[in-house]
Amino acid sequence: MDNETLQAWVEQVSRDSFGRPFLHQATFNRRLRSTGGRYFMRSHDIEINPKQLETFGREETEKIIKHELCHYHLHLTKRGYRHQDADFQRLLAEVGGSRYCSALPGQTKRVQPYRYKLVCRSCGMEYLRKRKVNPAKYACGKCRGKLFIKMLDFVLEP
């Protein structure tokens, strides 16, 4: 499927499900990884992940299109267009859009390994951290002793 076909499909879904026209651009974006689609508030354009269409078919992709069109129509009518807004949740349920897209195969959540260890000088209590922190700002939660940082030679998985 190409971008012109997607554009016609989005326009048709907008007319059929929302009763309003879609007047902006809808395109495929292969670089999307963790999402099925996205709506741009400044340009009002919509991007769809073509891998969702290839993997899960037209029905799931149409639910993603409805999700993005909910953002689109609510934003243009100056109503609650964010995920947590009641207007968005109500409209999404009415049109049958999906709240979340299905995870693509091979797309696992990236786990950040622990790289740093804070060690208490008094009692030896250890705290694992993914990011480097300033130990002078913190104290041991067990004995209130001073901490020092030790970078791990190996990577610990959480």
Tell me the sheet residues that pair with 15.
none
The candidate with the shortest Cα–Cα distance to 117, out of 108, 106, 125, is 125
Q: What is the number of alpha carbons within 13 Å of residue 80 lying toward its C-beta?
A: 10
Q: What is the number of alpha carbons within 13 Å of residue 134 lying toward its C-beta?
A: 2
Return the active site residues.
68
The DSSP letter of residue 33 is -
Residue labelled with tokens 């610990």: 156
Lay out the sheet containing 147-156: strands in order across: 126-129, 114-120, 147-156
